[in-house]
Amino acid sequence: MLRAELYRIVHRRWFYAFIIAGICLGLGGFVQQWYTNIDMGAAPHQYNGVYVFLQIFGADFNSSWGGVIPLIAVLASGDLLWADLATGFAMPMMLRTGVRRYFIDKFATNAIAVFCGTVLFLLIDLGLAILWRGGLQWPPVLKFVMVKGLPQLTRGETAFSGIVRSSYQPLVLPWLFWHLPYVYTALEILINGLVLAAVSSVAVVASLWLRNRYLVLATPFIVYFAFNVGLQFMHLFEWIPTSMGGSFFYTTASLTSILLYWAAPLVLLFVIVFLTASGRYRRLRLSPKEMNG
């Protein structure tokens, strides 16, 4: 069913709205960062597009990107399960796959589509940023902004050993950012894909309990802000690795902790679907009219 669902998603206008929203966000971010960097004392010739890209998409929750994550994460396919249950299209699909398999595939397809879509629009944004200003120039002012300073270059460090060390040592991520920006940017893009996949999966699970499209689409927003922004207001910054942008400023998280933080809800939501979806569907006890939408 994965192929069927992916075919359906890529023939859906909302999937393209999701991609275009991501690209527009990048373009808007370039303009915003242009002025921000001038305010920070960095002249335009002192930094490059990759740095601006990381300023937009590698930032923490106190940013435009952080604010719109739950909104665009549900655009691609967040309401598809709800729509299938409401219109009855779930039934011909279930007849061919089985009930549990249907829900699992639905969950997996949403996560795959959102992950791939995010990686796609971030790569387009990165490409635009590099076209706008190539090279690998970091603004000198950045050294003073970084709270704990840059770690020293380790003799013989390579991209591979850097990634391995960053998986358990927080301080290596700033090192990667400074010395191997493309490797760092690639990791950043992958983690953003994971973040959006995790957030959008909340809508899939909410579809099992909520019978209203707008509530389903709002649930990721509520959960995301409760668990991330809410924790910040409680001064629990250390609990929130966010994406990697937080690392190059604060160096509070290792790569593993970031991956675990975002993989954990994805795994938890998958377990909920695996264990409860089939029973939940049969317990709906819908009237014949509701059964057929």
Contact footprint for another protein (CB under 8 A): 1, 3-5, 7-8, 11-13, 87-99, 278, 282, 285-288, 291-293
Least separation in angstroms between CB 281 and another protein: 8
- Beta-carbon contacts of residue 54 (< 8 Å; ≥ 6 apart): 177, 181, 184, 185, 188, 245, 248
Least separation in angstroms between CB 79 and another protein: 11
Least separation in angstroms between CB 290 and another protein: 10
Measured from the CB atom, the residue of 255 and 273 that comes closer to another protein is 273
Least separation in angstroms between CB 20 and another protein: 17
Tokens of 249: 């400023």
Q: Which of 13, 200, 197, 198 is nearest to 112 (CA)?
A: 197
Tell me how crowded residue 268 is: count the other CB atoms within 10 A of its CB: 13
Q: Which of 186, 191, 200, 179 is nearest to 254 (CA)?
A: 191
- Beta-carbon contacts of residue 95 (< 8 Å; ≥ 6 apart): none
Tell me how crowded residue 250 is: count the other CB atoms within 10 A of its CB: 18
Measured from the CB atom, the residue of 238 and 290 that comes closer to another protein is 290
- Beta-carbon contacts of residue 259 (< 8 Å; ≥ 6 apart): 191, 194
Measured from the CB atom, the residue of 235 and 289 that comes closer to another protein is 289
CA–CA dist 10, 92 (Å, integer):
20
Measured from the CB atom, the residue of 65 and 103 that comes closer to another protein is 103
Burial of 43 (C-beta count, 10 Å sphere; 0-12/13-18/19+) = exposed
Measured from the CB atom, the residue of 74 and 99 that comes closer to another protein is 99
Least separation in angstroms between CB 101 and another protein: 9
Measured from the CB atom, the residue of 105 and 125 that comes closer to another protein is 105
Least separation in angstroms between CB 270 and another protein: 21
